Amino acid sequence: MDERTIPQLQDKISSGEMTAVDITQMYLERIERIDQHGPSLNAIIELNPDAISIARAMDVERKKGQVRGPLHGIPILIKDNIDTHDRMTTTAGSLALEGSIAPRDAFLVERLRQVGAIILGKTNLSEWANFRSTHSSSGWSSRGGQTKNPYAIDRSPCGSSSGSGAATAANLCAAAIGTETDGSIICPAQTNGIVGIKPTLGLISRSGIIPIAHSQDTAGPMARTVTGAAILLGALTGIDPRDPETRFSRGKALSDYTPFLEIGGLKGARIGVARNCFGDDLRVTKIIENCLSLMKQAGAELIDPANLDNEEKFTKSELAVLHYEFKADLNTYLKTANSEGQVHSLQEIIAFNEAHKEHVMPYFGQERMLAAQKKGPLTSKGYLNALAKNHRLTREEGIDAVLEKYKLDAIVCPSGGPAWLIDLINGDHYQGCGTSSPAVAGYPCITVPAGYIFGLPIGITFMASAWQEPTLIRLAYAFEQATAIRRPPQLLPTADLMQ
């Protein structure tokens, strides 16, 4: 298993031991061997036919002394709800958008190309970023089929950034991009034993990303190490006129987060423990207790408990906001998407799904879409009240209140439970912990490997207030370096009950 980090890959290229073409070919061969054949993770929905030629161009630039940065010549996978104006399609995993070529790159793709990254391909996902059915199977899409967990092939990779998580864990790329509305970076990152950063809303532009809800949607990096995630995060930031939310990142966003990779970053940190986000799995609690002890040994001061008491109070209002915004935002996206004339609105997608239900809905339906279609405009009082309630409960009366009350640098809780068996009949058996508050608030969080249950990864989440990515990276990196918990997956057919 090739676990080389982005800096290690750069060292190989700089020394002349490998080229960008060599590295790209290495990942393509690995994808062929274990994603499309062998264990068949099914994490990749489409490969970039121009990947090798792009790598060759990056090698030519390097020979001329032109190195664009730490991602120059590094292969990155992106989720198939992110637009690329090339020979790849953008479909959100849906047959309704099959063949759709975006009219231009998403802003974050433009940024990746500018820094010399190689877009290796697109990853499978939970169809429509898991906003189609109330009992979907994470990682399944009508276009891409079922993505699997590389730690146990019969287990879920979680979602919706399922392919990005599984591919990164299984070393099918140097790192990947996922997107999150609520848990869709954090859950697949923790379930696949990698690092995921869900950034502050507006730090990364959403233009060119098939949406769910503009008040919560964001893209973010997924990597095997905090270092890789920090490098990738810096490459993605920037103010984009097509996404007004990014204007709030002026003076707050950075193009380089690596200065915050501090070995001693936990020393003197005040960290709150959100006990009410632990769930009821005592095995998970034991793992997190061990992590807390290690943080103390590294010099952190723990305030325990420091609960997020509002965690259960905005469930209904969050869903209401998502329904309203999904209809409005998706309709706006589809007006400009080149979808080969198939669908131009949510209503047309619903009709397409019904007309092709044998292939699109063989296991679960489209209850979320039907509920969203019934919603009125974003001027509706019900929407505005729900949005205001969400922000109040998760921001000034939620995360900010806890941080201020206990004078904290961050709050920690489990990222979730062990991966469940893939169940196309009944859907997911998700054991979520603590993703909703930062997701609804639009605040950053990061998950890092924390331990294993029968060989299945468990992560720990660090969260804080808006624009606190530097603090979270510092804490997460120090924790990662002090614990060195991650171990690569072995592509087992099922969980090892002897571990």
Do the Cβ atoms of 308 and 200 come closer than 8 Å?
no
Rounded Cα gap, residues 368 and 355, in angstroms: 17
Distance CA 6, CA 116 (A): 13
Q: Is 79 annotated as catalytic?
A: yes
Q: 445-462 b/e with 16+ CB inside 10 Å = b?
A: bbbbbbbbbebbbbbbbb
User: Is 405 an annotated catalytic residue?
Assistant: no
CB-CB contact of 100 with 91 (8 Å): yes
- For residue 105 the two structure tokens come to 């790159």
Give the Cα separation of 112 and 310 in Å (integer). 38
Catalytic-labelled residue, pool 141, 162, 184, 436 = 184
CA dist 445 and 475 (Å) reads 11
160 among known catalytic residues: yes
Provide the sign of the torsion angle of the four alpha carbons 37, 41, 44, 50, taken in this order.
Answer: negative
82 touches 179 (CB < 8 A): yes
State the Cα–Cα distance between residues 48 and 40, nearest whole angstrom: 19
Please report, as a single letter, which amino acid is at residue 150. Answer: P
Residue corresponding to tokens 């939970």: 126
Helix (H) or strand (E) holding 276: none
Polymer length in residues for the chain: 499
Tokens of 321: 């906001």
Task: Write down the number of H helices and E strands in the chain.
Answer: 17, 13
Q: Which residue has the tokens 């992560």?
A: 459
CA-wise closest residue to 216 among 301, 149, 131, 156: 131
The helix (H) or strand (E) run that includes residue 425 is none
Q: Which of 160, 317, 415, 436 is catalytic?
A: 160
Positions marked catalytic = 79, 160, 184
